[in-house]
Structure 1
Amino acid sequence: MSRSTIRDYEGGRHDIHRATEAQLRLAFEEGGVVFVEMPGLGWGVCLRPASDRD
């Protein structure tokens, strides 16, 4: 995906497409990011421990 796609999404210039969202999520998860839902707060992220990433 292009940098301009990410820049436009982050800048609020357009909504993200479902396929683009899936690609971003997969890339983050492969990099060790875990998405967690926090009741009353919404979604957050944290890093999986290094020992679990290999």
Structure 2
Amino acid sequence: MEFKFSKSQVTLAVISFIGAATLASAPTLATAAKASGNYVAGDFHNHTTCSDGSISM
């Protein structure tokens, strides 16, 4: 039995597999080390010198 695949076809298949495996595992790895956050109620907005109302833009 002889397969007629060129090196470029095999290379493309390997790169595609590695890319798909990376994309499939990325969300799992990104959220693995994150601790859950705490909800803090309050008004945390900020003003700058351009947004405090003293300068008309």
Structure 2 length normalisation: TM-score?
0.34
For the pair shown, the structure with the greater C-alpha radius of gyration is: 2
Q: Which has the higher contact order (CA 8 A, sep 6+)?
A: 1
Structure 1 length normalisation: TM-score?
0.35
